[in-house]
Amino acid sequence: MKRINFDILAERVRNWGRWGDDDSRGTLNHINPEVLMRAVGSARQGKMFSLGMRFDRKGPQGVQSGRINPQLYMNVMDQAFSARYPSARHNDDVVHMSLQSATQWDALSHVHYDGTLYNGCKAQDALTSTGTKCLGVEHLASPGIMSRGILLDIARLHGVPMLPGDHAIGPDELDRAAQAAGVTIEPGDIVLVRTGHMRRFSILHDVEAFNTNFPGLSAQCAEWLYDHSLAAVCCDNAAVEHIGPDTLDDEMCLPLHMLCLRDMGMPLGELFDLEALADDCAADGQNSFLLCAPPLGFTGAVGSPVNPTVLK
Is residue 282 within 8 A of residue 156, CB to CB? The reply is: yes
| Least Å from the CB of residue 117 to a second copy | 9
Find the helix or strand (DSSP H, E) in which 146 lies. Answer: strand 146-153
Nearer to a second copy, 112 or 197 (CB): 112
> CA nearest 110: which of 309, 300, 297?
300
76 binds a second copy (CB under 8 A): yes
The sheet with strand 146-153 has its strands ordered as 48-50, 309-311, 288-292, 146-153, 190-194, 232-235, 268-270, 104-106, 303-305
Nearer to a second copy, 146 or 157 (CB): 146
The Cα 14–Cα 154 span in angstroms is: 27
| Least Å from the CB of residue 310 to a second copy | 8
160 binds a second copy (CB under 8 A): no
**Cα separations in angstroms, 268 against 111, 238, 310:** 11, 10, 17
186 binds a second copy (CB under 8 A): no
7, 17, 18, 71: which one contacts a second copy (CB under 8 A)? 71
| Least Å from the CB of residue 36 to a second copy | 4
**Cα separations in angstroms, 44 against 41, 189, 282, 288, 309:** 7, 17, 16, 10, 15
**Footprint (CB under 8 A) of a second copy, residues 255-284:** 257-258
CA atoms within 13 A on the CB side of 42: 29
Nearer to a second copy, 178 or 237 (CB): 237
Letters for 119-148 (x = contact with a second copy by CB under 8 A, - = none) are: ----x---xxxxxx-----x--xxxx-x--
Nearer to a second copy, 173 or 189 (CB): 189
9, 13, 60, 112: which one contacts a second copy (CB under 8 A)? 112
The Cα 93–Cα 101 span in angstroms is: 18
**Footprint (CB under 8 A) of a second copy, residues 40-69:** 40, 43, 45-50, 52-56, 58, 62-63, 66-68
> CA nearest 199: which of 169, 164, 175, 159?
164
Nearer to a second copy, 144 or 244 (CB): 144
97 binds a second copy (CB under 8 A): yes
70 binds a second copy (CB under 8 A): yes
Helix (H, G, I), strand (E, B) or coil at 66: coil
205 binds a second copy (CB under 8 A): no
Binding region for a second copy (CB under 8 A) out of 9-17, 71-79, 157-165, 177-185: 71-79
Binding region for a second copy (CB under 8 A) out of 12-20, 39-47, 190-198, 215-223: 39-47
Binding region for a second copy (CB under 8 A) out of 15-23, 104-112, 159-167, 210-218: 104-112
CA dihedral 121, 103, 251, 118 (to 10 degrees): -10
7 binds a second copy (CB under 8 A): no
88 binds a second copy (CB under 8 A): yes
**Cα separations in angstroms, 139 against 3, 21, 26, 143:** 30, 14, 10, 8
Is residue 240 within 8 A of residue 193, CB to CB? The reply is: yes
223 binds a second copy (CB under 8 A): no
